């Protein structure tokens, strides 16, 4: 009796498997790729890179930071939160704002580059080690999720 039950189950599984073989499932890679539109393509992740100064560089008291972004359009801040559009923020010797949180107003340690520019010069930094962190924020100044960049520089006396 056990053998005939096992044989029946195996036969049903084999027949069921054969019926599905000729019809691709709706979630197969071929079907998914054929039905995919450009709107379904995942959004690129925003990323900022500090291209200058290099990490570990020795600098003078005025430090010009140059930035480059990928996966986002850098534009003049207009106060609106638009996906894929933002501007740069720099944090000098302080922790950056978490993603989604509004970045505090400009101070000596927090800089909004809301003009759409990709450079900023910190003037008259004190001699010693300094850490600069770049963050992209939306037009409403909330920190955008994505890759941030950090460099450490030594300002010579």
pLDDT score, position 34: 37
Integer Cα distance of 32 and 21 in angstroms = 17
Pair of tokens at residue 94 = 């302080």
pLDDT score, position 113: 96
pLDDT score, position 43: 54
Angle at 49 between CA 45 and CA 55, to 5 degrees: 145
pTM of the complete model:
0.72
Number of residues that this document lists for the chain = 157
Fold of 46-155: Immunoglobulin-like (2.60.40)
For the chain of 157 residues, list the mean pLDDT of each consecutive stretch of 10.
Answer: 42 40 36 36 78 98 98 94 96 96 95 96 98 97 96 97
CB count in 10 Å sphere of residue 77: 19
Backbone conformation region of residue 56, classed left if phi is above 0, alpha if psi is from -120 to 50, else beta: left
Give the start-to-end residue ranges of the domains of the chain.
2-40, 46-155
pLDDT score, position 56: 97
């Amino acid at each position: 009796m056990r053998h005939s039950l096992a044989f029946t189950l195996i036969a049903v599984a084999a027949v069921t498997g054969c019926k599905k073989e000729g019809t691709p499932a709706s979630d197969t890679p071929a079907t998914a790729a054929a039905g995919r539109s450009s709107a379904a393509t995942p959004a690129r992740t925003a990323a900022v890179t500090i291209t200058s100064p290099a990490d570990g560089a020795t600098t003078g008291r005025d430090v010009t930071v140059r930035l480059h972004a990928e996966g986002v359009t850098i534009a003049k801040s207009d106060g609106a939160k638009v996906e894929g559009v933002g501007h740069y923020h720099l944090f000098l010797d302080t922790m950056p704002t978490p993603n989604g949180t509004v970045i505090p107003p400009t101070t000596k340690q927090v800089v909004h580059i809301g003009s759409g520019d990709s450079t900023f010069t910190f003037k008259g930094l004190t001699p010693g080690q300094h850490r600069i962190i770049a963050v992209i924020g939306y037009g409403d100044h909330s920190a955008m999720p994505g890759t941030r960049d950090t460099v450490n520089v030594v300002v010579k006396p």
